[in-house]
Homo-oligomer: A and B are copies of this chain.
């Protein structure tokens, strides 16, 4: 029985141990040429024959003996005794050593007359011009690209020995159901080995996903021994922590040795490095983003150690938009949305939490906060690592502020115009502040002012004298969502789910409560905050709360009842200087497009009569 997990090892030491503790000899496999793209050669590849094999005509014309053409000129045309008609690519017969272009030949009764001498080997592609028989076409460890593949085909190669790493993936956990099955409450779809296979497969690894194993040590031992026998590297998914049902460390120790249990990274701390039969065995934590971090930071360098190329997208210097603090001692990896606003890159963290796969989906970069750093102040200049190409990151449009379900649909429409909408839900007030600091392109907001108007007084207050345009996206209905049709008046006798402070919906609720002289602190669940309309509706649907305030479309999407409270103006605030930005221009065009109107009509609860109306503030 091993229950260490007492001391964690730094990432640097972990990687160093991987380098010194394992030989990492790759496997090789033979693949058909057409399937070799993106793979690396396991050995040098030699041409099977010369290309071309014989001398070929490089032009349409006649093949000649160059000696016979000597002295030919405009004044002294020469009629040739020996010459034959050839087209580009035809064999130049052995007795000839030059080709004359057909345009320069006078033909009469199959006799050729020329007015210019041909030097030897003019317009002839000599045998072996491209490559010689036995010549090396590719060295080993060459990453095969499309033109390489064309060349190999031309040189007679039909199969290519390429490097691979055989990786065994063992999913463990009694709560797992296979991908494709509908999980019962408390069950989880086994998706981590799916992600691992997808990631490691792109590097050229050959992954085998073994059947899922329940949390029973004896069964895991059996699966592990088989996987070690059949692979160069084994990854056990989940069970790597130190709980009562975590057997990974114990099982590795049973068959070999545990070298490291616990790596100072977050997420991903409960990682294990073991060795069985001289092969590396990795214990990968079960939370999806912990698994992702271990795959990226530990398994990827290990696969590279085996000789496989692991592409990366590089880094950019960016301005980090929030303040974060962390414990000293762990490298922390924060998934982020990255975009270029004006002339600088802006980096905003997505919701943390090792279970939030959507944060990985929404991110296009991540920030590594090194172990020795306690955190960053907002506005710190940091180095972001891209998880998409730089070109793709250049297409990001940052929308920061109030959330509405329509934003996802706007993202969908914009995606078709090659604009990637990254929206951060920080509420209307958060959006105004982001706009003030030039940390977003557009700030969605719906802030009711004392004069009954929306948004303008707030923009004036926080961005005084600045050129800002408010573009109306829609007027929308806010109301009370519930299973039973609870109205605003009955709110205080039910459990509420609330929105976060600074969100316009929270402010609307507070405004209505004040107006109706209801003491918010007497409402059960008033402190329970979520950050989106759909999260409010979900909390109601799941029974966590009985009522909440959200837009109609969120209630409708989950089949819940909705009692309207107010109609409000949902606008995007955009700095005038950004209107010319092609991404912002596409956003504005999309808002007034018929396709978007159609979607709003379908989602319900949106009034589009004001859609596209601009209000200019200076």
By a beta-carbon cutoff of 8 Å, the part of chain A in contact with chain B is: 33-34, 37-38, 44, 48-56, 58, 60, 87-91, 94, 97, 120-121, 125-143, 145-151, 153-156, 158, 175, 179-180, 182-183, 185-186, 188-192, 194-199, 201-202, 241, 243-245, 286, 288, 291-292, 295, 307, 309, 311-312, 314, 353, 355-358, 360-361, 387-392, 408-409, 411-412, 414-416, 418, 421, 525, 527-528, 530, 534-535, 537-539, 541-544, 557-558
16 more CB-based (< 8 A) A-B contacts, given A52-B355, A148-B360: A33-B179, A54-B185, A54-B186, A56-B186, A126-B530, A126-B544, A133-B541, A135-B534, A136-B411, A146-B202, A150-B198, A150-B292, A154-B191, A154-B357, A312-B389, A312-B391
Least Cβ–Cβ distance between A298 and chain B, in angstroms: 15
Known: A388-B143, A409-B136. A120 touches B528 (CB 8 A): yes
Closest to A185 in B: B54
Contact partners of A244 in chain B: CB under 8 A: 60, 87
Contact partners of A530 in chain B: CB under 8 A: 126
In Å, the complex CA distance between A194 and B295 comes to 34
Which of B55, B392, B411 touches A139 (beta carbons < 8 Å)? B411
Q: Which 4 A-B pairs have CB atoms at the shortest separation, nearest pair first?
A: A150-B195, A146-B199, A153-B191, A147-B360
Contact indicator A544/B55 (Cβ below 8 Å): yes
Most chain B Cβ neighbours within 10 Å, of A54, A154, A155, A195: A154
Contact indicator A558/B134 (Cβ below 8 Å): yes
29 pairs, CB–CB < 8 Å, chain A vs chain B = A37-B198, A44-B412, A50-B538, A50-B542, A51-B357, A52-B188, A87-B243, A87-B245, A97-B544, A120-B525, A125-B353, A127-B539, A128-B542, A130-B356, A130-B358, A135-B408, A136-B412, A139-B421, A140-B412, A146-B195, A146-B199, A150-B194, A153-B189, A153-B194, A153-B195, A154-B188, A154-B357, A312-B391, A314-B390
Contact indicator B127/A544 (Cβ below 8 Å): yes
Contact partners of A311 in chain B: CB under 8 A: 389, 391
Contact partners of A543 in chain B: CB under 8 A: 94
In Å, the complex CA distance between A154 and B180 comes to 9
In Å, the complex CA distance between A87 and B241 comes to 12
In Å, the complex CA distance between A85 and B389 comes to 46
Contact indicator B355/A129 (Cβ below 8 Å): yes
Contact indicator B534/A121 (Cβ below 8 Å): no
Which of B150, B199, B295, B538 touches A191 (beta carbons < 8 Å)? B150
In Å, the complex CA distance between A363 and B125 comes to 21
Least Cβ–Cβ distance between A424 and chain B, in angstroms: 16
Contact indicator B528/A198 (Cβ below 8 Å): no
In Å, the complex CA distance between A357 and B129 comes to 10
Contact indicator A358/B127 (Cβ below 8 Å): no
Contact indicator A143/B392 (Cβ below 8 Å): yes
Known: A135-B408, A357-B130, A389-B311. A288 touches B38 (CB 8 A): no
In Å, the complex CA distance between A148 and B185 comes to 23
Contact indicator A415/B141 (Cβ below 8 Å): yes
Contact indicator B127/A538 (Cβ below 8 Å): yes
Closest to A145 in B: B387
Contact partners of A421 in chain B: CB under 8 A: 139
Contact indicator B412/A149 (Cβ below 8 Å): no
Contact partners of A54 in chain B: CB under 8 A: 185-186, 542
Contact indicator B156/A194 (Cβ below 8 Å): no
Which of B48, B51, B196, B356 touches A129 (beta carbons < 8 Å)? B356
Contact partners of A183 in chain B: CB under 8 A: 49, 53
Contact indicator B55/A542 (Cβ below 8 Å): yes
Least Cβ–Cβ distance between A497 and chain B, in angstroms: 9
Least Cβ–Cβ distance between A271 and chain B, in angstroms: 16
Contact partners of A135 in chain B: CB under 8 A: 408, 534
Most chain B Cβ neighbours within 10 Å, of A243, A286, A421, A542: A542
Contact partners of A154 in chain B: CB under 8 A: 188-189, 191, 288, 357
Known: A185-B91, A358-B131. A195 touches B149 (CB 8 A): yes
In Å, the complex CA distance between A49 and B185 comes to 11
Closest to A286 in B: B89
Contact indicator A539/B126 (Cβ below 8 Å): yes
Contact indicator B307/A416 (Cβ below 8 Å): yes
Most chain B Cβ neighbours within 10 Å, of A138, A182, A361: A361
Most chain B Cβ neighbours within 10 Å, of A94, A132, A143: A132
In Å, the complex CA distance between A143 and B386 comes to 14
In Å, the complex CA distance between A183 and B358 comes to 54
Contact indicator B140/A558 (Cβ below 8 Å): no
Least Cβ–Cβ distance between A286 and chain B, in angstroms: 8
Contact partners of A535 in chain B: CB under 8 A: 128, 132
In Å, the complex CA distance between A399 and B409 comes to 54
Closest to A149 in B: B198
Contact partners of A141 in chain B: CB under 8 A: 415-416, 418
Contact partners of A312 in chain B: CB under 8 A: 389, 391
Closest to A124 in B: B544
Contact indicator B528/A121 (Cβ below 8 Å): yes
Contact indicator A360/B151 (Cβ below 8 Å): yes
Which of B53, B138, B185, B361 touches A137 (beta carbons < 8 Å)? B361
Contact indicator B60/A129 (Cβ below 8 Å): no
Contact partners of A138 in chain B: CB under 8 A: 361
Which of B175, B198, B291 touches A34 (beta carbons < 8 Å)? B198
